[in-house]
Structure 1
Amino acid sequence: MKLVQKIQDKFQGIIQACRRYPLTVVFLLAFAGLNAFLIQQEAENYTRYVYSFLVGIFLSAVAQQIYERFFEKNSQRILLMFGAIILTIAYYFTIGSAADYDFERTVKTGIIFFILTIAFIWVPTIKNVVSFNESYLSAFKAFFTTLLFTLVLSAGIGFILLAVDQLLFSVNYKVNLHAFNLVLSLFAPIFFLSYTPLYLSKKEESSLTPEERTAKLKELRSDVSVPKMFELLISYIIIPLTTIFTVILLVYLLQNITGDFWTNNLLEPMLVSYSITVIVVYILASNIETKSAILFRRIFPKVLIPIVLFQTIASVLRIQETGLTYGRYYVILFGIFATIAGVLFSILPIRKNGWVAVVLMVLSLISIVPPIDAFTVSRVSQTNLLERTLEQNQMLEGNSIIPNADIPKEDKIKISQTVYYLTSMDYDEDIEWLAPYNQLLSYQFEEIFGFQPIYDENGFLNEQPVQDSYYASLDLRGSPVISIEEYDKMVIFSYYDSSIQPKIEVEVDDERYTVYTEEMDGKEKLILMDESDETVMSVDIQAFMEKIASSSETENMLTIDEATVKTENEQAELNLVFTSINIYDNQYDAEFYLFINIK
């Protein structure tokens, strides 16, 4: 009976969440409907609509939190909902064209989601009896509870559909997608919202009697309390592990304080991850009164400050050599935030931790607002670094780049890195003197600058860059005819190093043969096998690609002779004519015609 009652209570909680966040539910329904349409139609160029609905979901949830905390009248609630709709529409019309994917827009939209998530947690705690630590803990518990239920429900639905498909009748794969869409787009977010406590609202502050207020606060304290198991996990496992790692990190910093630490950014991800861990654990430990939690709160904010300062200074020093990228912008910005957080944790009482959330939201907002956003600043920095380096080596006159191979290696690395960054972010089209070359920068780098691209340890430092980065395609204009009279079969083959290729069957003189690729002895082999599963012939396909890359004389275009590799044994002869080869950072991709002759 208790289980039935709990299930009924949870369903009542879901219904209450729908009533509490009506506009959010409307956006969720629209989002789920859009996903269903896309699953059925397999349409393209939909990212703009998906992002807009997601922004609407987050905005409407925050609007409800603002209403509950500061307002009382339904008319005010409607105005806040209307404001969320207006902002969602404004987002839709300001994010640019409906291109399927744009990295900069995706990152900025992700930052918007992050800001709204922090606001969702922080707003109910403004001048309230509930602290930011407790609200954060409540959201933390709700997230992992929702994740558990979602995984269980998804697995259950998956097994049921599999059983129906295997035992009763065939089930279209889109049924699974539609089912998971409903779980992820509707059930999971509404289930999460049902765990959001009913904080003491503005209306209740003025209308509740002292007895009702006491009962309300008692219920609220139960919702934001720390589970005993979670208290043990934080106090006796996570805090000790964090302490051990901190000691190791401090020893390393002291040993290398005058060495390569200041110019080696390999530790950046580790230091950032460490800082995030300390801040999250500190906020969670703020709700716990064990000895280990109290000591952690007293000591670790003060330890965090010098570690983060070291990391931030090291990142700033790296800018002098490599310019500012959007990634390093966020690393430095996080360093500033973590330093401020360490100071606030050290001087403010625990109940004032909400100021850390304010600082985080402000800095996050700065990172997406032009002209001081991460992408604008990084574009200007990289452009200036490239232009300055070219001018120092007399390689830029007006809007023309002059090839020059006789420049210091350090400058070659700077030019290679900045050009790679600007082209990968599609910024080259907006730079007046670089725009005329934008279609050639990737494949004719040497012709433009006079040397092949080389990169540092974070890129692709290689004295023989042709084997590390190479692209070429077959030029059929000169000799478009390929003779096949000596061969029994021709197979059009695509080889991608990062994925498994399907086996291809061919028939010669009533005998069946199979062609496929497989890793053997650490090498990728192209294998021809007969119907008795005996290997007729096996060749190293990557060795063929490297041979062509190192011997071809033309730039990015292969003649028939250059693109052809023949090999044979007593049983068969294979002729590979590559139509495209792409070698990049030990990744091998190719397309070729395979001519087979069985002897």
Structure 2
Amino acid sequence: MMKLPSIQHLYKDLLTVVKRFPLQFVFIIVATVCWTYYIHLDRYGADSLLNAALQKILIKAILISNLGLTLTLALDLLAEKKAYKPGKKWLIRIFAVLSCLLLFFLLDPADNFADQLRIALMAFAFHLFVAFSPFMDKGQINGFWQFNKVLFLRFLTAALYSIVLYGGLAIALVAIDGLFNVAIYWKTYMIVFAIIVAGFSPVFFLAGIPTNFEQLEKEAAYPKGLKIFTQFVLIPLMTIYLAILLFYEIKIMVSWSLPKGLVSSLIIGYAVFGILSLLLIYPMKEQEGNSWIKLFSRFFYSMLIPLIILLLLAVWKRVEPYGITESRYILILIALWLTCITVYFLFSKRQNIKLIPISLAILTMLAVYGPQSASAVSKYAQITRLKKILYSQKAEDLKEKPSVVKYLVSKHGLSALQPFTSKNLTHIENVIDSRDDYQYVKDKIKVDTAFSTLKINDKDIYPADTQYTFLSTDHDFPAISGFDYLLDINSYENTEKVFNGIQIKIDRTNDKNLIINLGDTAKLAINLTKIFEESVELVKAKKLKSTKNYNEFLLPANKLTFSKIVKNYQFTYTIGQIRGYKTGSSLQKNWFDIEAHLLIKKL
């Protein structure tokens, strides 16, 4: 039976973590505070644009804190193993912190896909660095395995305790809400979740990291549960995957057809589960009666050879006609790494399992920055591809040009197209970015600018989603004179209120129409689709005045006002703003974002 740790035990562990890992504790606090503050921010209020900018900063702080936590942890473990003096240890820590600060000001993950990828790659590499940093010297294979066994089990334990703790607290909040009529909103649950995931879980994990690395090399204990899990769960699953993949490979050879894209994910999944299984049962291969493990090891890497060939064929099928992108770059990197690892374990007598995380970490870091990085190679490949098809009139090239341009603008910015024009695209991009508008609107303008600059028309091939926003002429200062009450309407939720015995129920289950039920019989039906389409037609006829924002127009207030009299009360529904998308001649999913009020006047 699982027993949760006592408060005294948790407090002792907290003191241990603060003393042993002070910088890591600071990063945990920063991430937790930023996450909780992020939850508090209102995304749809009057300060939504300001809050959106602040949210980007908070997200970046959370991501960089994660990098800082893993990087400093790896370096601290290395320093502990090498028995560095406090001065040298703090010098390394300061270097790591300065590196994280540099990354914070250098990267822009909210608006730059390349930076998102860089952070993801660095996070993966730093986690791998934690796994082998105390055991970078030759030998100590058993110590390395025992260390990672402890980390693996500690991680699972932290996850289990976190789930149980959050579940218990969430149930307690529900009970308080139901028994004492205390309004507990969803943000409270999210904040509790953030504190447990970003605060409690990593601190609990850090408290269980081994301190005596030399003792680990002498450790011979092997968890029986881990053996059973690997032997009866992981390996049978792998066998099923292998059978499916081998039969599929035979099908390809018989039908002589190229592999489907899904096969890449299946092969990588098989390889990951297989290598994980081999790592989990590694110490058992020298024990008597476990000769099947050696056989399985050889069999696994032998069977990887045809699967790697199949993986390379699947990648080539996508790269040859469409060029390299970041995802295909990573697939190629994984395929090459699997090839090298397979050759090593098939023909090397040393069988050094430390090579697995070390080699993968090095390759991952090489993909972060430089001419060989994922972003640089992908950008170069797609620019080269665009140069070949830009002036072509072939049907297939005409279809490909818009997708290539959209990829380059969305992943690498408008300035990536500078080789194709004399216009200063960097300046144009800076002007667009300086607009006081939502990011998706800026991205849309950039794509439209690219198509206009390169004289590419994708309307007939890929009908673009066009956003329209219509504001009431009194949107900023709605007239409420003569009314007694006002009810704000949330665009995304159904609303149920009771006013002087009249039940008000606003139904948004159907986005095409909005139904306001006023009592048992009275209804106020508003055809949102009709309002939106008629307004779009007025735009096309140039009968509406536009604002400074992209595709935003003013509508007379009376066209967005609807009234109904019920029981000596006048209910007036006023739409301040309606936003939607249109694709060609049809609406995009009949979805509308609305800001509205319900005004009530006693007659």
TM over 0.5: yes
Whole-angstrom CA distance in 1 between matches of 2:143 and 2:126: 18
Which residue identity is paired with 2:353? N
CA contact (8 A) 2:496 2:503 kept: no
After superposition, the C-alpha distances for 1:424-471 in whole angstroms (9 at most, x for unaligned) are 22521343227388664545787664532577xxxxxx6xx36xx343
Task: Name the residue aligned to 1:286.
Answer: 282
**1:338, distance to aligned residue in structure 2 (A):** 1.8
Whole-angstrom CA distance in 2 between matches of 1:317 and 1:5: 53
Task: Name the residue aligned to 1:86.
Answer: 95
Quick check: 315-324 or 168-177, which moved more? Answer: 168-177
Task: Name the residue aligned to 1:60.
Answer: 72
1:249 equivalent to 2:245? Answer: yes
Task: Name the residue aligned to 2:476.
Answer: none
Higher relative contact order (CA 8 A, sep 6+): 2
- Go from structure 1 to structure 2 and tell me whether the alpha carbon gap of 1:26 and 1:380 turns closer, same or farther (over 3 Å shift): same
Of 495, 498, 502, the residue aligned with 2:494 is: 502
Q: How does 1:374-453 map to 2 (within 5 A)?
A: 374-390=374-390, 392-393=391-392, 407-432=393-418, 433=421, 435=425, 440-443=445-448, 449=455, 451-452=457-458
Task: Name the residue aligned to 1:106.
Answer: 116
1:314 equivalent to 2:320? Answer: no
Q: Secondary structure at the match of 1:371?
A: coil
Q: Secondary structure at the match of 2:592?
A: strand
After superposition, the C-alpha distances for 1:8-53 in whole angstroms (9 at most, x for unaligned) are 8787666545444344334434544555666778854234433343
1:150 equivalent to 2:156? Answer: no
After superposition, the C-alpha distances for 1:85-135 in whole angstroms (9 at most, x for unaligned) are 222213312443686824432331222222121111112334325254443
Which residue identity is paired with 1:323? G
CA contact (8 A) 1:506 1:513 kept: yes
TM-score of the superposed pair, with normalisation by structure 2: 0.71
- Go from structure 1 to structure 2 and tell me whether the alpha carbon gap of 1:243 and 1:28 turns closer, same or farther (over 3 Å shift): same
Which residue identity is paired with 1:428? L
Task: Name the residue aligned to 2:353.
Answer: 353
After superposition, the C-alpha distances for 1:501-532 in whole angstroms (9 at most, x for unaligned) are 3338899xx9766442225xxx9654354422
Task: Name the residue aligned to 1:192.
Answer: 205
Whole-angstrom CA distance in 1 between matches of 2:5 and 2:560: 73
Which residue identity is paired with 1:387? K
CA contact (8 A) 2:302 2:346 kept: yes
Task: Name the residue aligned to 1:590.
Answer: 592
Q: Secondary structure at the match of 2:213?
A: coil
Unaligned runs of 5+ in 1: 202-212, 394-406, 456-461, 478-489, 568-573
Of 527, 534, 546, the residue aligned with 2:515 is: 527
Whole-angstrom CA distance in 1 between matches of 2:183 and 2:322: 54
Quick check: 36-45 or 416-425, which moved more? Answer: 36-45
- Go from structure 1 to structure 2 and tell me whether the alpha carbon gap of 1:451 and 1:292 turns closer, same or farther (over 3 Å shift): farther
CA contact (8 A) 1:494 1:590 kept: no
Task: Name the residue aligned to 2:130.
Answer: 120
Whole-angstrom CA distance in 2 between matches of 1:267 and 1:546: 44
CA contact (8 A) 1:470 1:549 kept: no
Whole-angstrom CA distance in 2 between matches of 1:506 and 1:143: 49
After superposition, the C-alpha distances for 1:354-386 in whole angstroms (9 at most, x for unaligned) are 112121011101110222211122222222322
Q: How does 1:42-57 map to 2 (within 5 A)?
A: 44=55, 45-57=57-69
Q: Secondary structure at the match of 2:379?
A: helix
**1:249, distance to aligned residue in structure 2 (A):** 1.2
CA contact (8 A) 1:48 1:92 kept: no
Q: Secondary structure at the match of 2:509?
A: strand
Whole-angstrom CA distance in 2 between matches of 1:413 and 1:326: 21
- Percent identical: 18
CA contact (8 A) 2:108 2:115 kept: no
Whole-angstrom CA distance in 2 between matches of 1:101 and 1:8: 41
- Go from structure 1 to structure 2 and tell me whether the alpha carbon gap of 1:525 and 1:334 turns closer, same or farther (over 3 Å shift): farther
Task: Name the residue aligned to 2:328.
Answer: 328
1:270 equivalent to 2:266? Answer: yes
Whole-angstrom CA distance in 2 between matches of 1:371 and 1:383: 14
**1:238, distance to aligned residue in structure 2 (A):** 2.1
CA contact (8 A) 1:580 1:592 kept: yes
Whole-angstrom CA distance in 1 between matches of 2:73 and 2:153: 18
Whole-angstrom CA distance in 1 between matches of 2:490 and 2:450: 27
Whole-angstrom CA distance in 1 between matches of 2:69 and 2:103: 18
Whole-angstrom CA distance in 2 between matches of 1:372 and 1:352: 27
Q: How does 1:223-262 map to 2 (within 5 A)?
A: 225=222, 227-257=223-253, 262=258
After superposition, the C-alpha distances for 1:29-79 in whole angstroms (9 at most, x for unaligned) are 45445556667788542344333433332222112221233x23x52x441
Whole-angstrom CA distance in 1 between matches of 2:507 and 2:231: 54
Whole-angstrom CA distance in 2 between matches of 1:591 and 1:179: 29
Which residue identity is paired with 1:135? F
CA contact (8 A) 2:414 2:446 kept: no
Which residue identity is paired with 2:274? V
- Go from structure 1 to structure 2 and tell me whether the alpha carbon gap of 1:311 and 1:131 turns closer, same or farther (over 3 Å shift): farther
- Go from structure 1 to structure 2 and tell me whether the alpha carbon gap of 1:388 and 1:594 turns closer, same or farther (over 3 Å shift): same
| Alignment: residue pair count | 535
After superposition, the C-alpha distances for 1:236-270 in whole angstroms (9 at most, x for unaligned) are 22211211221111111221248686474343333
TM-score of the superposed pair, with normalisation by structure 1: 0.72
- Go from structure 1 to structure 2 and tell me whether the alpha carbon gap of 1:38 and 1:264 turns closer, same or farther (over 3 Å shift): closer
Whole-angstrom CA distance in 2 between matches of 1:547 and 1:16: 67
Whole-angstrom CA distance in 2 between matches of 1:328 and 1:21: 38
**1:285, distance to aligned residue in structure 2 (A):** 3.2
Which residue identity is paired with 1:414? E
